[in-house]
């Protein structure tokens, strides 16, 4: 396997395009959406017109015919400016549409993917539950077969993209029976948004990601057509493990973008902010902070690109994805803290992007597998877990 993780000309062109969009379109507007806790429909529609939601999917399903690296490149560039927009794309693609692409029937793909690929519709991934966050295998939501339908009951929490005006579906994990050893048989169902019996709670009051949509979902005798079973019955656990492994690479790219955005903002600030008659960037203490921040962002980028290249080459990538997610999320938190420190009192003011980045960083050590879970996965791959 090649160790050269430099971008191809096509990927570099995409990176520049998304960078320009993030700077010219997202940056001037997103702060107001963030403070109002408002979903940025206008920005998301433009992302859809650019083809960002279809990046890793074949053209036959309405996609752009790209690959997973292309998605991650776009996520990093968006997160350099704002993580709410980036997580909307990440969840819409790697959690919302990817399960259908990976495990769906041809009919399911042709029914759902075209609108998801254009950003006209969003998909959500209903995995986490109130009483079993990290222990996803402890799913309590149930789905019972009743004639030509599944009847779903239960609650899902912290579900991104689940309550927007353009949400079209939620892929929901549910217990559909018991195996011979008594363990739960977990399956995945495509639940159309606004199904009778599906209650979408108001948005959470969150510390960060305030311009993204995150809700609790309740299912009370929600009838789902039998043909909405995603893949084989009882394969839901294996399916979401695969989806989470892939998603960790995407989150690592997002975290790297946030870390790099902290470098961008802090470098610009250090050049223009004066104290004691000179720019603060003339002080070695600030220079060393910036150098360490850049080094951390660089190593995080190398880690996620390595994991992405393994995924696309069809090689084992679980450990590489866990390493990338663990390292990059830690880097994001440290860089956000240092960026706030460099900005001083201004870093505590929401008008400065680093204040938003500081609020957004912590969830990266929690979502799509906590840092503790990543360490467990890495240890297991080493044969000691």
Active-site positions read 368
Measure the CA–CA gap between 90 and 251, rounded to whole angstroms.
7
Are 284 and 356 in contact by the 8 Å Cβ rule? The answer is no
Nearest to 352 by CA among 223, 225, 266, 287: 266
Q: Give the single-character DSSP code of 178.
A: E
Buried b (16+ CB within 10 A) or exposed e, 289-301: bbeebbebbeebb
- CB-CB neighbours of 272 under 10 Å: 9
Please say whether the beta carbons of 347 and 339 come within 8 A. Answer: yes
Contact call for residues 26 and 81 (beta carbons, < 8 A) = yes
Q: How many CB atoms lie within 10 A of CB 181?
A: 5
Which H helix or E strand runs over 379? Answer: helix 371-381
Query: Could you tell me if 165 and 146 are in contact, meaning their C-beta atoms sit under 8 angstroms apart?
Result: no
Phi-psi region of 272 (alpha: psi -120 to 50; beta: other; left: phi over 0): alpha
Query: Which of these, 290, 357, 356, 296, lies nearest to 327 by C-alpha position?
Result: 296
Phi/psi for 178 (5° steps) reads -125, 145
Nearest-CA neighbor of 119 among 88, 80, 162? Answer: 88
* Structural tokens at position 123: 């998909």
> What letter does residue 227 receive in the DSSP assignment?
G
- Of residues 59, 75, 76, 168, the one with CA closest to residue 119: 168
Determine how many CB atoms are found less than 10 A away from the CB of residue 19: 17
């Amino acid at each position: 396997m090649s160790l050269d993780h430099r971008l191809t000309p096509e990927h570099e062109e995409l990176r520049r395009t998304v960078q320009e969009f993030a700077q010219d379109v997202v940056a001037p507007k997103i702060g107001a959406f963030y403070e109002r806790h408002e979903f940025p429909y206008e920005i998301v529609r433009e992302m859809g017109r650019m083809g960002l939601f279809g990046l890793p999917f074949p053209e036959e399903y309405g996609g752009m015919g790209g690959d997973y690296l292309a998605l991650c490149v776009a996520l990093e560039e968006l997160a350099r400016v704002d993580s709410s927009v980036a997580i909307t794309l990440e969840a819409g693609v790697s959690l919302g549409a990817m399960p259908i692409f990976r495990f769906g029937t041809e009919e399911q793909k042709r029914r759902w993917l075209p609108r998801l690929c254009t950003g006209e519709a969003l998909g959500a991934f209903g995995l986490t539950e109130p009483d079993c966050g990290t222990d996803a295998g402890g799913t309590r939501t149930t789905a019972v077969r009743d004639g030509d339908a599944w009847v779903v009951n239960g609650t899902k929490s912290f579900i991104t993209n689940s309550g927007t005006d353009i949400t079209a579906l939620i892929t929901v994990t549910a217990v559909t029976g018991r195996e011979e050893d008594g363990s739960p048989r977990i399956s995945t169902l495509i639940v159309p948004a606004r199904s009778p019996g599906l209650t979408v709670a108001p948005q959470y009051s969150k510390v960060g990601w305030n311009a993204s949509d995150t809700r609790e979902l309740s299912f009370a005798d929600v009838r789902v057509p039998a043909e909405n079973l995603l893949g084989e019955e009882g394969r839901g656990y294996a399916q979401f493990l695969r989806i989470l492994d892939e998603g960790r690479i995407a989150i690592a790219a997002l975290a790297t973008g946030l870390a790099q955005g902290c470098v961008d903002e802090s470098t610009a600030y250090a050049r223009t902010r004066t104290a004691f008659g000179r720019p603060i960037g003339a002080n070695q203490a600030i220079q060393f902070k910036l150098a360490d921040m850049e080094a951390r962002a660089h190593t995080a980028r190398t880690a996620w690109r390595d994991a992405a290249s393994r995924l696309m080459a069809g090689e084992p990538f679980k450990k590489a994805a866990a390493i990338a997610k663990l390292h990059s999320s830690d880097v994001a938190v440290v860089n956000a803290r240092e960026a706030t420190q460099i900005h001083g009192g201004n870093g505590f003011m929401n008008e400065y992007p680093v204040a938003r980045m500081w609020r957004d960083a912590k969830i990266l050590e929690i979502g799509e597998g906590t840092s503790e879970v990543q360490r467990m996965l890495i240890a297991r791959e080493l044969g000691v877990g």
